[in-house]
């Protein structure tokens, strides 16, 4: 008889949970959720193809291009840190990133996951801290000297490295991994523009750069923090195991590399972003510390690397599959570049020329970004 109350209580708890879970599962539009573990089993099974898995879930939603899922199917915990909304609908993206940007702060869950890598950089901050960096970056990117520095880095890496690699591949009739080459190109460019240090990953022998490898590893490990419940990665961090062990060792390599770059810029300032931020002050009126400068620089590296290379990869894939558009683009390029410079493989634009918004090159690039827009995950 003593066990009877316990059995009734257990049955009542199971019934209440089943009712709550059924109500939850009917509202979610993403992958199937299971009691207690939610969609974690599917997330774990697809961890090596996370982008393809997310894209397939988005396609399954039809025209909405938005779905919700839950990784912790437990009352209270689910709402606190288990719900995720994923979208790639252009209007939703515009609403989140532009129209009502102030309604979507990163929040403590996001900031805790990304803090070790990004600190209080522009991608991991809110309020006044974000605003100062946003205004500084927007102002600096419109200055003539920074634009000249950008042109210098891009032209040099294209002329002296990318073109040589592609020319050699054509002569030897060998295929190349264009996405890898573009990733190396944008990484070298953004590192040079951000802190004036060229990792030279886009070299003829395509070397493995310790900083680039460590940055990739740290980025992937940090992303895993966002995908899985916070309790899991915090437990791994305390024990120093799994992805957290890799993250710690990778961050050490990244921080050492950035420390060298900061010390070099203190001794010899230049026209890069790091040198410019070293002259700025935070919300309290103090100069940024070396640790904060590290994170600011890493945020810009993250912003300018994968985004540009992925956009260029999709662009060239689209051009390859649309020869009629390729012909239009080539004809336009020949009108922009002088015959002498074109024949000598020098890709500098004619002085004073600006690409008009109605040109096929610009429109096609923007269309590629629209069609292959990266999903936005809201925790």
The β-bridge partners of 68 are 85
What confidence score (pLDDT) does residue 255 get?
A: 93
Cα Rg, the chain, nearest whole Å: 24
CA angle centred on 180, ends 163 and 316, rounded to 5°: 70
pLDDT band of residue 73 (cuts 50, 70, 90) is confident
If you count DSSP H runs as helices and E runs as strands, how many of each does the chain have, helices first?
19, 3
370 Cβ partners below 8 Å, 6+ apart?
A: 90
pLDDT at 65 over 50: yes
Q: What average pLDDT is seen over the chain?
A: 83
The answer to which of 174-178, 251-255, 340-344 has the lowest mean pLDDT is 340-344
- Determine the average pLDDT of the residues in 88-100: 87
Asked if residue 168 has pLDDT above 60, the reply is yes
d(CA 234, CA 116): 12
If pLDDT is split at 50, 70 and 90, which confidence band does 360 have?
low
Task: State the SS3 of the chain.
Answer: CCHHHHHHHHHHHHHHHHHHHHHHHHHCCCCCCECECECHHHHHHCHHHHHHHHHHHHHHCHHHCEEEEECCECCCHHHHHCEEEEECCHHHHHHHHHHCHHHCCCHHHHHHHHHHHHCCCHHHCCHHHHHHHHHHHHHHCCCHHHHHHHHHHHHHHHHHHHHHHHHHHHHCCCCCCHHHHHHHHHHHHHHHHHHCCCCCCCCCCCCCCHHHHHHHHHHHHHHHHHHCCHHHHHHHHHHCCHHHHHHHHHHHHHHHHHHHHHHHHHHCCCCCHHHHHCCCECCCCCECCHHHHHHHHHHHHHHHCHHHHHHHHHHHHHHHHCHHHHHHHHHHHHHHCCHHHHHCCCCCCCCCCCCCCCCHHHHHHHHHHHHCCCCEEEC
**Site of tokens 């264009």:** 178
**What pairs with residue 85 in β-bridges?**
68, 378
Summarize the confidence of residues 6-31 as an average pLDDT.
86
pLDDT value of position 374:
55
Q: Structure pTM?
A: 0.77
| Confidence class for position 372, pLDDT limits 50, 70, 90 | low
CA–chain centroid gap for 44, Å, is 21
Minimum mean pLDDT range among 17-21, 114-118, 374-378: 374-378
- Name the burial class of residue 177, with classes exposed (0-12), middle (13-18) and buried (19+) by CB atoms within 10 angstroms of its CB: exposed
Domain boundaries, the chain: 2-104, 142-208+271-375
Report, as an integer, the average pLDDT of 116-124: 88
Output the 3-class SS for 23-81: HHHHHCCCCCCECECECHHHHHHCHHHHHHHHHHHHHHCHHHCEEEEECCECCCHHHHH
End-to-end CA distance of the chain: 47
Query: Token pair 């956009």 is at which residue?
Result: 311
Question: Facing residues of 67 across strands?
Answer: 86
Whether residue 351 is predicted with pLDDT greater than 60 in this model: the reply is: no
- DSSP assignment letter at 378: E
Residue 201 has pLDDT above 80, yes or no: yes
pLDDT band at 271 (very low <50, low <70, confident <90, very high): confident
- Residue 337 banded pLDDT, cuts 50, 70, 90: low
φ and ψ at residue 196, rounded to 5 degrees = 65, 20
Segment holding 94, helix H or strand E: helix 90-94
Band (pLDDT 50/70/90 cuts) for residue 185 is very high
pLDDT score at 350: 43
d(CA 347, CA 334): 11
Q: Is the pLDDT of residue 269 over 60?
A: yes
Q: Give residue 252's pLDDT.
A: 95
Q: How confident is the model at residue 244 (pLDDT cuts 50, 70, 90)?
A: very high
pLDDT tens-place string over residues 219-243: 989 988 887 778 889 999 999 998 9
Architecture of domain 142-208+271-375: Orthogonal Bundle (1.10)
DSSP three-state, residue 2: coil
Cα(33)–Cα(40) distance, integer angstroms: 8
pLDDT level of residue 352 (50, 70, 90 thresholds): very low
| Averaged pLDDT, 322-327 | 87
């Amino acid at each position: 008889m003593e066990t009877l109350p316990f059995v009734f209580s257990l049955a009542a708890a199971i019934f209440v949970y089943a009712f709550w879970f059924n109500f939850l599962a009917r509202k979610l539009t993403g992958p199937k959720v299971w009691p207690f573990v939610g969609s974690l089993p599917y997330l774990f099974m697809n961890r090596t193809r996370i982008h393809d898995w997310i894209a397939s879930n988005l396609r399954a939603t039809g025209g909405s291009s938005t779905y919700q899922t839950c990784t912790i199917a437990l009352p209270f915990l689910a709402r606190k840190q288990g719900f995720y909304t994923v979208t790639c609908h252009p209007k939703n993206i515009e609403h989140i990133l532009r129209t009502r940007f102030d309604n979507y702060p990163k929040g403590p869950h996001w900031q805790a996951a990304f803090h070790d890598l990004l600190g209080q950089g522009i991608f991991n901050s809110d309020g006044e801290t974000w605003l100062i960096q946003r205004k500084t970056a927007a102002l600096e990117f419109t200055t003539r000297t920074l634009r000249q520095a950008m042109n210098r880095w891009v032209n040099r890496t294209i002329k002296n490295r990318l073109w040589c690699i592609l020319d050699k591949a054509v002569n030897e009739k060998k295929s190349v991994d264009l996405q890898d080459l573009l990733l190396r190109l944008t990484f070298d460019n953004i590192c040079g523009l951000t802190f004036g240090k060229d990792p030279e990953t886009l070299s003829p022998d395509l070397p493995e750069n310790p900083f680039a490898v460590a940055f990739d590893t740290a980025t992937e490990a940090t992303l895993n923090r966002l995908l899985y419940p916070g309790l899991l990665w915090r437990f791994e961090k305390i024990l120093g195991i799994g992805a957290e062990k890799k993250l710690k060792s990778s961050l050490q390599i990244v921080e050492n590399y950035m420390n060298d770059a900061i010390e070099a810029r203190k001794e010899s300032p230049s026209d890069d972003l790091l040198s410019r931020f070293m002259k700025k002050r935070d919300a309290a009126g103090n100069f940024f510390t070396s640790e904060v400068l590290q994170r600011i620089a890493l945020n810009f590296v993250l912003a300018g690397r994968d985004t540009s290379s992925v956009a260029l990869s999709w662009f060239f894939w689209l051009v390859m599959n649309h020869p009629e558009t390729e012909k239009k683009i080539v004809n336009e390029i020949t009108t922009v570049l002088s015959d002498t410079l074109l024949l000598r493989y020098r890709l500098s634009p004619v002085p004073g020329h600006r690409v008009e918004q109605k040109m096929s090159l610009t429109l096609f690039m923007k269309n590629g970004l629209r069609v292959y827009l990266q999903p936005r995950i809201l925790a």
